[in-house]
Copies of this chain bind each other. A is one copy, B any other.
Amino acid sequence: MAASDSHADSLDFGILHELIGYRLRRAQLVFFNSFADACNDLGISPGLFGVLVLVKQNPGRTQTAIAQAMGNDRSAMVSAVDRLEKKDLVERRPSQNDRRSYALYLTANGEAFYDRLVERVLQHEHALEGVLRPGEKDLLIDILSRLCAGSAKG
The answer to whether A24 and B22 have CB atoms under 8 Å apart is: no
- With a CB–CB cut-off of 8 A, which chain B residues contact A140? 20, 23, 140, 143
Hey, which chain B residues are within 8 Å of A24, CB to CB? 24, 27-28, 31, 144
List the one stretch of A81-89, A105-113, A131-139 in contact with chain B.
A131-139
Chain B nearest Cβ from A141, distance in angstroms: 5
CB distance B71 to A29 under 8 Å?
yes
- Which residues of chain B come closer than 8 Å to A71, judged between CB atoms? 26, 29
The complex places the Cα of A128 from the Cα of B148 at a distance, in Å, of 9
Which residues of chain A in 1-42 are interfacial with respect to chain B, using CB atoms and an 8 Å cutoff?
A: 4, 6-7, 10-35
Interface CB pairs A-B, < 8 A, 13: A6-B60, A11-B54, A12-B57, A13-B54, A19-B121, A21-B32, A21-B121, A21-B128, A25-B46, A29-B71, A33-B153, A128-B151, A139-B139
Measuring CB to CB, which residues of chain A are less than 8 angstroms from any residue of chain B? 4, 6-7, 10-35, 46, 50, 53-54, 56-58, 60-62, 64-66, 68-69, 71, 95, 97, 103, 118, 121-122, 124-125, 128-132, 136-137, 139-141, 143-151, 153
